[in-house]
Structure 1
């Protein structure tokens, strides 16, 4: 039996949206996902779909509004992505952001050219029309710019709403048809007045109501799961993270003992986590968990492997094999539950490939094991009630259904675990070293009360050795990299400015307590250009 799954968000063009929705046409911007999150912060549902979605498909979707994302292209480039020109005549409010605005201007008869001076970073927005889109947006507020092109001629009927020192058309509108454009990025945290602008578009221009709430989602999800599953059994791979734990709680509320959780210990978890997880779910939450210790086979599967994507591939393959064996032993099961989130779907999607040139508009940075990584002959139908949610929304759902704060606030942990925090080959010795170092990092961050102030705090083991001196003797041992970052959503991140005394304490403890380590360094790279994880 092949997998049967819910229709992914990219295919929403084939069905009418069931709720008030703002859709984002994705032109490859690194911020498309962030636009959707900002819309949802106004308690209005949003989805990211392909820029190739036709006007007729959009009409059938019947969204309350459409946003055109930014993108890396210039509208005058050969092969630049274009939307269906008929969308301008749907009668649906449209907001073009950066490239989206330039595309609107270009397709409606205006002119976009290479600017004499690009504009990147913060800029003061000078408001010419303080009504409509810019209601309650303060004159002179900071907005985040990132563009090398400018609109030098507006289409007929458009007027300028705001400008900056370098950009005469920073915000534009055709009020009669409710077409709007902004040259800046209101969705990023650096745009001080950005959320006010977004709220104006969502509430006043698109006439949406704040119906996308946590309580409504929980009620809807429980109802949908019960209707879909009926009296069948569901199998869930439990990892202990906030996603799978929230899913376990939600499914247990919906179907009770028809849910069976399997925790596969692949040997790459942090110190003491497997034992604590199983005890917590069995004894405190009263949710059945089958524990499978498969650490030896996983370590054998990646022996000698140094490429991070190959590690992921092999770990994913081994996980599927182990999981299938467990399901046959515990089964039969009709459904497989997955904690797939909306960013997994967006980032793993190949929807932004130009059908003519074959060029990608957006780049997939890392593969996600929850999306597209399952074999076609896996004998389950999928249940993925979190597929519509971002990470912060999952945390809200977790709290709403009674998940303990220690799990709700658990920092993100990669699916392959410590295997991708050991650069290069993974061995039992290196795993033990990293576990001990990582435990010290988490202990001291907790003791200083900083755990909830940083997005992630962890250790990385490098596959090199350096000379040191301990007790008047020469050492030749591994270095540990400390990685502490702050972030709102994981899409961008900055290194955490924690006290030097804390770094010194962590360093001293690791060098003195972890055998095989004689050096500790601190990673002060932001994302971008780096990523949060090293692999």
Structure 2
């Protein structure tokens, strides 16, 4: 993009996208690209102000370690290496990195050796940072000085003449207390970035791009009623109007009364072509016998495309398939050519077939969830829709653990509706980032009245997060949980036990599959 000021070279860290989000949150557009780009590749970015080298799982001293074109250091822009990035800088400038006697993982205190460094402007000595490394620097690179340390390692280095900096910790993680201030220092005091990343500018630019890309062709969009597809629909509609047809596919994997609620809301709020297609039995059929999460996601993605292909024929051949794909979908599916390990395939990314009959139109592909919501508000989408909790593209297909059947989905729909309704009633819904119920492939013995039961277990899940790349469980009031559990047990046939998932992300993901 012409307004890209920061390029983040990705070496495979699961924190890379969080790093990009932190930079964008400071109104500076950052783009994540593979590490193996040349100097000529980066010279095409006419507004480039600085480069950040991400963390990664490799060790720089191994023969197969990822490295970069050393000519990148001659681009005359500041460079910041984070974790693996700092170790790579060390190795490339004649320093030494070795396996440490013990891994440094988690919270650590940062002791400043040079308080005059611009990187540590307004930073307190002893501030808490987040470490995640097994290797450490044992010999400084030529021309560099140590500017900070922890109890067990060199924590930061600097070559002020070349404007190259390295930090062993992850400033982008919220556990690093003054990490945002350090990033501000690098962006504005060192790199002289401009605050020009605004959603209004994104919208106007994207509308023009959509118009040029689509021309006079027809577009169909898979509408789920969730935030991402709603914002994508509104944005595309603003660009091409009635050339867009939104198709709400009732897969049988939607929440309780979802299809009716979405149709009613969209017909009221938007002047769009919207069509409801009920193919729930088809989806149950393709999911029969499947238990592996990846197999289910890909089967759902394949069936979606078949449905859209059939609808396109009825529309006399739509050329484009629009989707509400967002940045975390792309990252977790690892479909962008980066080196990050695949977490899970999203049906609209990793689940698409190689012989796709459409050209994809994904206007939100480079945005994080909170940026998508900001775009939605700029477009005038009602808060009722913008503030909805995320719902996975495969729907209940990844919230029924194991094989998916209509009976299981019906049980889950009822339990989930009780949980969400209670959150709304207690004014807690907007206090949490995402809440839902998962049906486990486990039955347990229970007692109801004087009778023995042998029924399913459901898990309640509620998390709080800024960007959905990391999350912590919500500390919901015990009295509230007790009420929800009591209602589920008494009102939902087939469930006799409820558990509450308090796992953070990482190590877990938000969804169970």
Q: Give the TM-score of the pair, scaled to structure 1.
A: 0.92
Counterpart in 2 of 1:532?
510
The one-character-per-residue Cα deviations of 1:504-530 (angstroms, maximum 9, x if unpaired) are 101100000011111111122222222
Aligned partners of 2:205, 2:71: CA distance in 1, in Å?
Answer: 34
1:280 CA drift (Å): 0.9
1:448 matches 2:448:
no
Q: What secondary structure is seen at the aligned counterpart in 2 of 1:103?
A: helix
Counterpart in 2 of 1:154?
140
Aligned partners of 2:393, 2:124: CA distance in 1, in Å?
Answer: 43
Aligned partners of 1:351, 1:225: CA distance in 2, in Å?
Answer: 21
Q: What secondary structure is seen at the aligned counterpart in 2 of 1:299?
A: helix
1:55 CA drift (Å): 2.5
Aligned partners of 1:280, 1:521: CA distance in 2, in Å?
Answer: 33
The one-character-per-residue Cα deviations of 1:5-45 (angstroms, maximum 9, x if unpaired) are xxxxxxxxxxxx41242111111111011111011011111
Counterpart in 2 of 1:276?
261
1:372 CA drift (Å): 4.9
Counterpart in 1 of 2:285?
300
1:417 CA drift (Å): 0.7
1:90 matches 2:68:
no
Which of the residues 451, 463, 474 maps onto 1:485? 463
The one-character-per-residue Cα deviations of 1:473-500 (angstroms, maximum 9, x if unpaired) are 1112111111122222222222221111
1:427 CA drift (Å): 1.6
1:221 matches 2:199:
no
Counterpart in 1 of 2:125?
139
Q: How does 1:460-499 map to 2 (within 5 A)?
A: 460-499=438-477
Counterpart in 1 of 2:21?
37
Counterpart in 2 of 1:5?
none
Which of the residues 351, 355, 364 maps onto 2:342? 364
Aligned partners of 1:261, 1:528: CA distance in 2, in Å?
Answer: 35
Aligned partners of 1:46, 1:18: CA distance in 2, in Å?
Answer: 11
Aligned length: 511
1:377 CA drift (Å): 4.2
Q: How does 1:203-218 map to 2 (within 5 A)?
A: 203-218=188-203
1:69 matches 2:54:
yes
Cα separation, partners in 2 of 1:319 and 1:398, compared to 1, 3 Å: same
Considering only aligned residues, what root-mean-square deviation do their CA atoms show, in Å?
Answer: 1.7
Which of the residues 416, 423, 438 maps onto 1:438? 416
1:337 CA drift (Å): 1.6
* Contact 1:234–1:335 (8 Å) recurs in 2: yes
1:192 matches 2:177:
yes
Q: What secondary structure is seen at the aligned counterpart in 2 of 1:462?
A: strand
Aligned partners of 2:217, 2:102: CA distance in 1, in Å?
Answer: 62
Aligned partners of 1:377, 1:477: CA distance in 2, in Å?
Answer: 43
1:350 CA drift (Å): 5.3
Counterpart in 2 of 1:102?
87
Aligned partners of 1:231, 1:330: CA distance in 2, in Å?
Answer: 14
Aligned partners of 1:162, 1:524: CA distance in 2, in Å?
Answer: 35
The one-character-per-residue Cα deviations of 1:255-313 (angstroms, maximum 9, x if unpaired) are 22221111111010000111010111112222220110111111111122222221112
In the alignment, structure 1 segments of 5+ residues that lack a partner are: 1-16, 354-360
The one-character-per-residue Cα deviations of 1:345-404 (angstroms, maximum 9, x if unpaired) are 333335668xxxxxxx53101112222543444443332211221111101101111111
Cα separation, partners in 2 of 1:379 and 1:150, compared to 1, 3 Å: closer
Name which of structure 1's ranges 436-445 and 227-236 shifts more when overlaid on structure 2. Answer: 227-236
1:28 matches 2:6:
no
Cα separation, partners in 2 of 1:426 and 1:350, compared to 1, 3 Å: closer
Q: How does 1:393-408 map to 2 (within 5 A)?
A: 393-408=371-386
Which of the residues 96, 105, 113 maps onto 1:128? 113
Aligned partners of 1:362, 1:224: CA distance in 2, in Å?
Answer: 29
Q: How does 1:315-354 map to 2 (within 5 A)?
A: 315-349=300-334
Q: What secondary structure is seen at the aligned counterpart in 1 of 2:441?
A: coil
Which of the residues 266, 269, 275 maps onto 1:290? 275
Counterpart in 2 of 1:392?
370
Which of the residues 377, 382, 395 maps onto 1:417? 395
Aligned partners of 1:477, 1:377: CA distance in 2, in Å?
Answer: 43
Counterpart in 1 of 2:38?
54
* Contact 2:300–2:347 (8 Å) recurs in 1: no
In the alignment, structure 2 segments of 5+ residues that lack a partner are: none
Counterpart in 2 of 1:19?
3
Q: Give the TM-score of the pair, scaled to structure 2.
A: 0.96
* Contact 2:332–2:342 (8 Å) recurs in 1: yes
Which of the residues 498, 503, 506 maps onto 1:520? 498
Cα separation, partners in 2 of 1:116 and 1:516, compared to 1, 3 Å: closer
Name which of structure 1's ranges 385-394 and 521-530 shifts more when overlaid on structure 2. Answer: 521-530
Name which of structure 1's ranges 407-416 and 83-92 shifts more when overlaid on structure 2. Answer: 83-92
Cα separation, partners in 2 of 1:401 and 1:155, compared to 1, 3 Å: same
Aligned partners of 1:58, 1:105: CA distance in 2, in Å?
Answer: 22
